[in-house]
C-alpha cells in the first residue's frame, strides 16, 4: 500500500490480522521493507499486524534531493508521521541496520509511540559513536563509509559492471535471486543516491545526541558481522535504562533478517510478550 506522510509517498508492506498489535519494521541499507518477508509469518501467526515501509530515499515518492533531508531527525519524523497516517498510537518497533538507528532515536525521543524496541545489528547510536571514537577495529570496520559519503564516486563504484560490488556486498543474504531483489531497485535513476544520502547526512555528533532508551528493549547482534564489532555491541547496554536483553546469534553475518529469520522472530516475540 502507499501511505502519504509529510508530503511524501511511502510504499508500505502490510500483513497480519486486522486489529492485531502493530509492529513497525524499519529496514536498513541497501535493502527495503522486503527484508522482513521471512520474519513476518511468525509475527502474523502470533496475532501481530506488521507495517514495513520502504523508507526515505528508497520509496520513489519519498526521495528528496538535498543531503540535509536525510539527517536523523528527518528520518525519525517520517516514522512518527507514518504511525500517525496508519492510525497507530504506539507500536512495537523493530529496526535493522540504519533502521535500527532510526528505531533507537524514535524510542529515545518519542517513547510514547514505542511499546517495545527490538534493534538488530546496529547498537544504540551513542554506543556506536563511542566505538568509532575509541576502537581502532571499529574504525576499520566502518571505513567503507568514507567511500559511501563521496557523492558520485560511490554510485559509480557500487553500480559498475552490472552492480558487481553492490551484489558482492549482499552475497550473504542468499542466492542470486535474493541478491537481485535488493540490488535491482537501487539501479533505478536516483535510487542509490537516496540510499547513500543517509551516510552523507550522518555525523558522530548526531549519533551521540540520541538519548537513553527507557522502553523494554532487545538488541540482537551476530558475531560474524563485519560492520559492527563487540565494543559497540557491549556498549549498548549503558544507554538503556529500561528492561534490556542482549541476544547474540553465533555464526551469522550482518544480514540477520535474511540469514536467521526464525531466531530473530523468536527474539521479537519474546520482547513483545514481555518474556525477555
Q: What is the set of active-site residues? A: 97, 199, 254
* C-alpha to C-alpha distance for 100 and 180, rounded to whole angstroms: 23
Nearest residue to 142 via CA among 130, 153, 152: 130
For residue 48, how many other CB atoms are within 10 A of its CB?
21
Asked if 263 and 236 count as a contact pair (C-beta separation under 8 A), the reply is no
Distance CA 109, CA 178 (A): 35
Q: CB under 8 Å to 66, separation ≥6 — which residues? A: none
Report angle CA 14, 20, 26 to the nearest 5 degrees: 40
What percentage of the chain's residues is helix, strand, coil (to nearest 5)?
Answer: 50, 20, 30
Alpha carbons within 13 angstroms on the beta-carbon side of residue 41 total 5
How far lies 20's CA from each of 16, 88, 130, 267, 271, in Å? 7, 11, 38, 18, 16
Give the full edge-to-edge strand order of the sheet including 114-120: 2-5, 8-15, 48-53, 21-26, 91-96, 114-120, 217-222, 244-249
Amino acid at each position: 500500500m502507499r501511505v502519504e506522510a509529510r508530503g511524501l509517498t511511502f510504499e508500505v508492506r502490510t500483513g497480519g490480522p486486522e486489529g492485531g498489535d502493530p509492529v513497525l519494521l524499519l529496514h536498513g541499507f541497501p535493502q527495503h521493507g522486503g527484508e522482513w518477508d521471512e520474519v513476518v509469518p511468525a509475527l502474523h501467526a502470533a496475532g501481530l499486524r506488521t507495517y514495513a515501509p520502504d523508507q526515505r530515499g528508497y520509496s520513489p515518492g519519498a526521495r528528496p534531493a538535498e543531503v540535509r533531508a536525510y539527517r536523523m531527525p528527518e528520518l525519525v519524523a517520517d516514522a512518527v508521521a507514518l504511525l500517525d497516517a496508519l492510525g497507530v498510537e504506539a507500536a512495537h518497533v523493530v529496526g535493522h541496520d540504519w533502521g535500527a538507528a532510526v528505531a533507537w532515536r524514535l524510542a529515545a525521543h518519542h517513547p510514547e509511540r514505542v511499546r517495545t524496541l527490538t534493534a538488530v545489528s546496529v547498537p544504540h547510536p551513542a554506543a556506536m559513536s563511542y566505538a568509532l571514537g575509541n576502537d581502532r577495529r571499529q574504525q576499520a570496520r566502518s571505513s567503507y563509509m568514507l567511500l559511501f559519503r563521496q557523492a558520485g564516486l560511490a554510485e559509480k563504484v557500487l553500480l559498475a559492471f552490472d552492480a558487481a560490488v553492490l551484489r558482492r556486498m549482499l552475497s550473504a543474504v542468499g542466492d542470486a535471486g535474493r541478491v537481485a531483489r535488493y540490488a535491482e531497485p537501487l539501479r533505478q535513476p536516483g535510487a542509490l543516491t537516496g540510499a547513500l544520502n543517509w551516510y552523507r547526512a550522518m555525523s558522530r555528533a548526531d549519533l551521540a545526541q540520541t538519548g537513553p532508551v527507557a522502553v523494554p528493549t532487545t538488541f540482537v547482534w551476530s558475531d560474524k558481522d563485519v560492520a559492527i564489532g563487540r565494543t559497540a555491541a557491549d556498549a549498548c547496554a549503558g544507554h538503556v535504562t529500561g528492561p534490556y536483553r542482549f541476544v547474540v546469534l553465533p555464526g551469522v553475518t550482518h544480514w540477520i533478517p535474511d540469514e536467521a529469520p526464525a531466531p530473530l522472530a523468536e527474539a521479537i516475540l519474546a520482547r513483545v510478550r514481555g518474556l525477555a
